[in-house]
Amino acid sequence: MKKEELEELLRDCPVLYHMAELGSWPSIQRHGLLSTSALLDLFAVSGSRRTAIEARRRPENVAVEHPKLGRAVIRDQKPMDDAGLLRCLQDGLTPEDWYKLLNDRVFMWLTRDRLHRLLTARPYRTLEHDVLELDAAPLVAAHWAQITLSPINSGATKPFPRDRGKDTFLSIADYPYAHWRGKRKAGERAVELAVTGGIPDVGPFVRRVIRMRGEEIVTVLYSR
């Protein structure tokens, strides 16, 4: 991606959206917006329990606890399953490989429309969630080296499993923006922005945190 292409992407998508578990904002304020793997490191989860969380599909939310840190909830992976991954994975990747790739990253949508699609998906539409709205440009500047972009929803295989492989997550420099610019409207030229390891210094990038049910804003938890 060229400099002017990134500038266009950030003009089209100035706000990033992260859908977090209900009640997770206080923990995010304390520890940052961490990937599943980084959270497991922080909470000292190891052995077979860690493998079950990090390298297997999570059909339901999983809670982890620490005597000093308290409790955190790791989200389920209901929109994805092994059968779908086996149909679409390329480059010799296994479902276990894919779960590990996902769990090493924190994901954000580049448009409100994409956020709403997830919020209104069947497993989540009746539930409340803490949604973070983040300023895209300063976050990209601060975490450039850890950021990857994806042209698909990498955490879903339903209703149709789109092909994915080692080149699904590409650095900003390597992302083929011009290719997708010729095929998609503004806002859809990259679908996900992910930060490897997470964003421990997330606070300065957060413009608002809202509690949502479907497309409804239930309450505002934080506003800068």
The three-state secondary structure class of 14 is coil
Instruction: Report yes or no: 114 and 191 within 8 Å, Cβ to Cβ.
Output: yes
Which amino acid type is present at position 210?
I
Instruction: Report yes or no: 36 and 7 within 8 Å, Cβ to Cβ.
Output: no
Q: Which domains does the chain have, with CATH numbers?
A: 3-223 (3.90.210)
Cα 59-62-68 angle, rounded to 5 deg = 170
Q: Is the pLDDT of residue 159 over 90?
A: no
pLDDT tens string 20-74: 999 999 999 999 999 999 999 999 999 999 999 999 999 999 999 999 999 999 9
Instruction: Report yes or no: 154 and 106 within 8 Å, Cβ to Cβ.
Output: no
What pLDDT score does 165 carry? 97
Express as a percent the part of the chain with pLDDT over 70: 100
Here the tokens at position 224 are 């800068």
Express as a percent the part of the chain with pLDDT over 90: 97
Instruction: Report yes or no: 153 and 192 within 8 Å, Cβ to Cβ.
Output: yes
